[in-house]
Amino acid sequence: MNRLQSLQRTIENTYSRHNIRNVIRDDLEKSNFVSLINSSKAAIKEYIHGHYYKSKDLRINTLKQSLIIKDLITDIMIITIAQDSAQPIQAAASRLANTLNFEDMFDGVKTASELLAVVCKTNMFDIISAQQSETGSLMIKSNYKLSDETLQYIESTKYLPPMVCPPQPLTNNNESGYLTKHESVILGRDNHHEEYQALDVLNTSQNIALSLDKETLEYEEVSKKPLDTPEKISNFLRIVVSSRQVYQDLLTQGNKFFFTWKYDKRGRVYSQGYHVNIQSTSFKKALINLNQKHLITGA
């Protein structure tokens, strides 16, 4: 493995979900959430050992089959405490349901909603009734807050930056180009299939070496949407800060990088990435140069 591949592996590990969970868990432990975690554990145990009507007993049996209560509490904390503002219960329940492995999505969402209601009694977060909420629907609002450093870290690691070494050649529909990440070449959770996808074009595109345009970095990145609330301003600033960090890292690493590309279900092609991506705002488009320079001809 050469130096750039080794660096790339380090970057991918830093951005991995496992690592992010550990950082959040560390922050939660530092914040002395032990009693909150213990009372959540007790509430969940009481819930899963209860006896209800037949279909609910069945759902809870399904839940118990793969349940690790400690992980479940971490997931609930990530979903609720790591949010800066109130969120609809639908959103929180959907995210939690994704971790519960139910075959029927409505069973998953219903069970997740019940779990949220159970843990709410520990005062980790409030569930605001539809009558009392500004949106007219059930909302969840955390009573705790992660540190600003951790919130910035979560923002910074949401999306992998472009690769600093040439991506791995794609040979089947379950590869990404990244060294440690295997995922479908087709975007969208349920769109993967094994029929022929034109990997030759993804391989050609991902081999184009690119550079940041340093002069464009002197311009200010502005929001396309109006920043009319303090939350929107702080969210946008976090994105700008994390983007600037990615730009700085790419420059330090030699200012040569590669996009990975994916198809949608129809075969439209999308460059991957959030902080650096040509399929983005004018500012981000202007940031992209070819690494290979040309003398422009003519008069």
Partner 1 sequence: MQTFTGIEYIKIDMANQYGLDKLTWDARIEFITTNINNLDTLETNAKEPILFAKAKRAYRDATAKHKTGFIMGLDATASGIQIMACLQGCPKTAKQVNLGNTGAREDVYQVVADKMSKIVGDQLYKEDVKKPVMTTFYGSKNQPEEAFGEDTPELEAFYKTLSEMLPGAMECMQDMQKCWQPTVLEHKWTLPDGHVAKVKVLNTVDKKIEIDELDHATYTHRAYVNTPAPKGLSLAANIVHSIDGWIVREQVRKASMQGFELLTIHDSFWASPNFMNNVRQNYLDTLKEIADSSLLEDILNEITGLKGKLTKLSNNLSSTMLHSNYALS
Residues that bind partner 1 (CB under 8 A): 47, 52, 56, 89-90, 93-94, 105-106, 109-110, 113-114, 117-118, 120, 127, 129-130, 137-138, 190-191, 193, 195-198, 200-201, 204-205, 208, 211, 213, 215-216, 219, 263-269, 271, 278-279, 282-283, 285-286, 288-299
Shortest distance, position 68 Cβ to partner 1, whole Å: 21
Closer residue to partner 1, CB minimum distance, 25 or 192: 192
Shortest distance, position 47 Cβ to partner 1, whole Å: 7
Place of tokens 């520990």: 122
Closer residue to partner 1, CB minimum distance, 188 or 230: 188
Residue 259 per-residue DSSP state: -
Residues 97 and 109 sit within 8 Å (Cβ to Cβ): yes
Shortest distance, position 16 Cβ to partner 1, whole Å: 28
Closer residue to partner 1, CB minimum distance, 21 or 88: 88
Closer residue to partner 1, CB minimum distance, 33 or 261: 261
Q: Return the closest-CA partner of residue 166 out of 129, 210, 123, 200.
A: 210
Shortest distance, position 24 Cβ to partner 1, whole Å: 25
Report the C-alpha gap between 249 and 257 in whole angstroms. Answer: 11
Q: Return the closest-CA partner of residue 140 out of 115, 171, 166, 168.
A: 115
| DSSP assignment string, 190-222 | T----S---HHHHHHHHT--EEE-TTGGGSPP-
Shortest distance, position 66 Cβ to partner 1, whole Å: 21
Report the C-alpha gap between 188 and 264 in whole angstroms. Answer: 7
Closer residue to partner 1, CB minimum distance, 30 or 285: 285
Closer residue to partner 1, CB minimum distance, 154 or 262: 262
Count of CA atoms in the C-beta half-sphere (13 A) of 38: 4
Q: Return the closest-CA partner of residue 137 out of 91, 75, 173.
A: 91
Shortest distance, position 94 Cβ to partner 1, whole Å: 8
